[in-house]
Amino acid sequence: MDSVNWIINKRAWSDVHSKWPERVIPRDVPRIVRKFHAQIPGYRISPLKGLDRLASMLGVGGIWVKDESQRLALNSFKVLGGSYAIYNVLRQKLGLLSREVSLAELTSPEAREKLGVITFATATDGNHGRGVAWAARKLGHRAIIYVPRGTAQARIDAIKGYGAKVIVIDGNYDEAVDKIKEDARKQGWQVVSDTAWEGYEDIPTWIMQGYTTLFSEAQEQLAAQGIIKPTHVFVQAGVGSLSGSAVAFYRTLLGSEAPLFTVVEPTNAACLFESARIGDGKPYKIEGSLDTIMAGLSCGRPNPIAWNVLWDCTHVFISCPDFVAARGMRMYAVPLAGDPFIVSGESGAVTLGVLSLIMQRPELAPLRRRLSLGQDSQVLLVNSEGNTDPDDFRKVVWEGAHAVPRGFKVTELRS
């Protein structure tokens, strides 16, 4: 489908107070999480890059891109969630969950003797598995990672590079999740999944909390530019953990003064969009191949913890075809004179593609007006990944794959 579809979520525009943001991201958690990440060797604040010329061209006050392609040399934000979850699992196993623990204590000979060697297991489309493998290795443990069929060899090799065993499953991402759950139960592995199910909620919540470091950093970086907060946050979604973290972070921090939130998904894997379209407050799984160039967003089953936050607080849900992500990749790679060059993969670039269309396409003028996007807007985007699949990256950026078709459609759906 060559159609960009959007839904206004009336709940988020009402005066309904949601309990979910602060339940998922309590007020003191971002400080604790960031203190943990600061202990990791090589930790640096990832850049916040301003696209001033593009903002002027599109007619907004500012476009700010949190560039997670430079996170710990791992090319993705995912390590923030995986490492914090593993940290908490180890604290829990040592009976130390009630207090903060240093990395030195967790990796001490005494802790290693009590813990033994744990095998951490997860399913991934690439970046989450790489983060889990990296964190497990750093903390002296093992990792086994299941990936769906069609996963790029470059992503598999990147995971293996951190000592993990990788198994390709003959199925999509959701089927890989189901398979790792089953095998982990039999083998005694510790699952570190970014989506929740009944009886498995702590670790997905810790992963969402781990992501708050990037938003905490962004707030400091914006303040250095004299900006109190973004007026708008556009964030991509697979199972919804990153987008749920963004919304929960800002709603807990700022309450009713939080930014307006737009969540963006690929058309063939738009489980949050579909759940919003059905509109009864429940998360719904979608079926099918989930085929999209946005591999990191190729998920058919929402994280129910994230969904609770998003259903109450997301102002607009958007589903879009692959050419929107490809457009964003090319815009980052070939910036206007004076703007910084950004290496962005398919999942990282889709929000810039969407924002540019909202500001330029006459069919999207109603949405532009609804979001009050204009000269006073300071828009925050997250480049969630760099070039994690070099072959596809070159096809898009060099060869123009997934070009914007003539006469593509924009559709508002009613929730």
Condensed to tens digits (0 to 9), the pLDDT of residues 77-92 reads 999 999 999 999 999 9
DSSP state of 171: S
Active site residues: 78, 125
What lies within 8 Å, CB to CB, of 393 at 6+ separation is: 329, 345, 387
Are 93 and 66 part of one and the same domain? Answer: no
Are 271 and 390 part of one and the same domain? Answer: yes
133 in a structural domain: yes
215 in a structural domain: yes
- Residue positions counted in the chain: 415
Contact between 137 and 163 (Cβ < 8 Å): yes
Contact between 234 and 240 (Cβ < 8 Å): no
Are 279 and 235 part of one and the same domain? Answer: yes
**Boundaries of domain holding 379:** 3-76+211-413
205 in a structural domain: no
Q: Percentage of residues in the chain with pLDDT exceeding 70?
A: 98
Are 397 and 278 part of one and the same domain? Answer: yes
Give the span between the Cα atoms of 292 and 266, in whole angstroms: 7
- Residue 348 is predicted with a pLDDT of 98
Strands (E), 164-291: 165-169, 190-191, 232-236, 260-266
206 in a structural domain: no
What lies within 8 Å, CB to CB, of 357 at 6+ separation is: 4, 324, 327, 364, 410
Are 104 and 229 part of one and the same domain? Answer: no
Q: Look up residue 153 and give its two tokens.
A: 């060899």
Give the span between the Cα atoms of 182 and 244, in whole angstroms: 26
- Residue 409 is predicted with a pLDDT of 64
Is residue 180 pLDDT above 70, yes or no?
yes
- Residue 125 is predicted with a pLDDT of 84
Are 254 and 176 part of one and the same domain? Answer: no
277 in a structural domain: yes
402 in a structural domain: yes
Orientation angle between helical segments 241-254 and 202-210, nearest 10 degrees: 70
> The whole model's pTM is what?
0.96
- Residue 2 is predicted with a pLDDT of 74
Which of 200, 227, 245 terminates a domain? The answer is: 200
Q: Look up residue 310 and give its two tokens.
A: 């998003």
Are 247 and 377 part of one and the same domain? Answer: yes
Are 353 and 286 part of one and the same domain? Answer: yes
Read off the CATH number of the domain in which 396 is found: 3.40.50.1100
Are 50 and 98 part of one and the same domain? Answer: no
pLDDT tens string 115-124:
999 999 999 9
Number of domains present in the structure of the chain: 2
- Residue 415 is predicted with a pLDDT of 58
Interstrand relation of 48-50 and 142-148 (parallel, antiparallel or unpaired) = unpaired
Which of 169, 200, 231 terminates a domain? The answer is: 200
Give the span between the Cα atoms of 388 and 369, in whole angstroms: 35
Is residue 51 pLDDT above 80, yes or no?
yes
